[in-house]
Amino acid sequence: MRHFSYLGASDLASLFEVPPERLDRSGGTDLLSVALGATLYMPADRPELAKDVAKQAAAGVTSVTVCLEDSIPDDVVPAAVENLVSALRALHDDPPAELPLLFVRVREPSQIGYVVERLGAAVAALTGFVLPKFTAASGTEYLHALDVADRVSGAELLAMPVIESGAVLYAETRVDELTRLRALLHRDRRRILAVRLGATDLCALFGLRRSPDLSIYDVKVISSLIADVVNVLGRADGSGFTVTGPVWEYYGGAERILKPQLRQSPFDAHGERELRGQLVSRAIDGLIREVQLDAANGLQGKTCIHPSHVAVVNALSVVSAEDHRDAADVLSISEAGGVRASGLRNKMNEARPHTAWARRTMLRARVFGVAAQDVSFVDLLAASLPR
């Protein structure tokens, strides 16, 4: 897989100073967790599931989660499982040119073994499982089920636990739950690809739902949890995990009260005024703001429930030429420490406090590439979205 594989050679040459690398499972979890980018969720009962996965892969989706949980009515689950197994077999036997990282979101631990057993050799098409409602109590059973599935299939399946329980949200149990979760995840660190945040389920515990004018960071009971999850599970000292951003629910023309959250000038400067209008009309300006807040708060990648969100999240993940040069500059400073002005003479690059940021930036540059000088998010998005 490779991000922006749908772009032609001329577009890649004009948009990127350093193009994205081609990746596979052998790249290791540190690289793959960043490569998730926008993870598109699909219900497992879609009639043409294999074709839909191949279609989205051709359009630039590099990670897909097929859902057997909340998106599937209870009485449809058995048929959805069979539909999922059939689709994964088809993708294994006749893979598309760009096969995305494929995950299954199960309802309960027992589904892991059942799906793996039914897949047989086609388990090779599966990257791993998303584990919903993951807690210190339920997590042990999920991880044990994955151990058994590995032994039965000979595969090495990865896991993405979803933090979305009352135990981790409520103030009186949060610290204890996060501490126990960290200990549990570290015991099986080799298979934990990323920790996901289930904002919709978390909001439901208080009967909340944010509007398209607001980000999840405006919902204080949830944003305080995000800060604590990153604090305990997302540290940059080698002990942390990649924590991914929660879903943005809007993709159509919802009623807006507040002003759009996209400035006109970047779009005017690049001749894309019409593109800005399209983004605002579909509430994508709110998604753009939330992705930027995700990054500022230590999150990487995002859960997506609509294909139109994928290009936005991935375009915002491309490293700018300025950030790439600053990161290289920081990493070139002696380990003894020190500081120097950036190449553009507009900021301070200091070795010790900026090294972790620089390393993360270089990892992201490998996955998403480095934009060419004077190429902006607007250019990347204009090349990626169907017009």
Q: Is residue 156 a contact partner of residue 125, using CB atoms and an 8 Å limit? A: no
Are residue 59 and residue 190 in the same domain, yes or no? yes
25: which DSSP letter? G
β-strands 128-131, 101-105: how paired?
parallel
The count of domains in the chain is 2
Structural domain that includes position 167: 9-318
Mean pLDDT over residues 164-179, rounded?
98
> Distance between CA 101 and CA 122 in Å, rounded?
14
pLDDT value of residue 387: 56
Are residue 77 and residue 222 in the same domain, yes or no? yes
Question: pTM (2 decimals)?
Answer: 0.93
Are residue 329 and residue 188 in the same domain, yes or no? no
Task: Note whether residue 376 is domain-resident.
Answer: no
pLDDT at 102 over 60: yes
Task: Note whether residue 3 is domain-resident.
Answer: no
Are residue 260 and residue 360 in the same domain, yes or no? no
Looking at per-residue confidence, does 256 or 198 come out higher?
198
Which of 60-74, 222-236, 248-262, 264-278 has the weakest average pLDDT? 248-262
Task: Note whether residue 206 is domain-resident.
Answer: yes
Residue where one domain finishes, among candidates 302, 318, 334: 318
Which of 271-275, 319-323, 349-353 has the weakest average pLDDT? 349-353
Digit-coded pLDDT (tens) for 16-25: 999 999 988 7
pLDDT value of residue 373: 94
Looking at per-residue confidence, does 352 or 214 come out higher?
214
pLDDT at 364 over 80: yes
Are residue 313 and residue 333 in the same domain, yes or no? no
In the chain, the percentage of residues whose pLDDT exceeds 70 is 97
> Distance between CA 289 and CA 262 in Å, rounded?
8
Task: Note whether residue 384 is domain-resident.
Answer: no
> Distance between CA 25 and CA 202 in Å, rounded?
31
For residue 194, give Cα distances in angstroms to 107, 214, 229, 338. 18, 26, 12, 33
pLDDT value of residue 340: 73
Burial track 149-181 (b if 16+ CB lie within 10 A, e otherwise): beeebebebbbbbbbbbebbbeeeebeebbebb
> Distance between CA 377 and CA 375 in Å, rounded?
7
pLDDT value of residue 379: 93
CATH code, domain carrying 266? 3.20.20.60
Are residue 47 and residue 156 in the same domain, yes or no? yes
> Distance between CA 281 and CA 100 in Å, rounded?
30
Are residue 18 and residue 154 in the same domain, yes or no? yes
**Reduced to 3 states, what is the DSSP secondary structure of residue 220?**
helix
- Full DSSP string of 116-182: HHHHGGGGGG--EEEETT--TTTHHHHHHHHHHHHHHH----EEEEEE--HHHHSTTTHHHHHHHHH
Are residue 164 and residue 36 in the same domain, yes or no? yes
> Distance between CA 91 and CA 103 in Å, rounded?
13
pLDDT at 53 over 80: yes
pLDDT value of residue 254: 66
* Structure tokens, 206: 């208080």
Are residue 238 and residue 360 in the same domain, yes or no? no
Computed over every residue of the chain, the mean pLDDT equals: 93
Digit-coded pLDDT (tens) for 244-291: 999 999 887 666 676 777 888 888 888 888 888 888 878 889 999 999
Are residue 123 and residue 233 in the same domain, yes or no? yes
Residue where one domain finishes, among candidates 288, 303, 318: 318
Contacts of 376 (CB under 8 A, 6+ apart): 266, 270
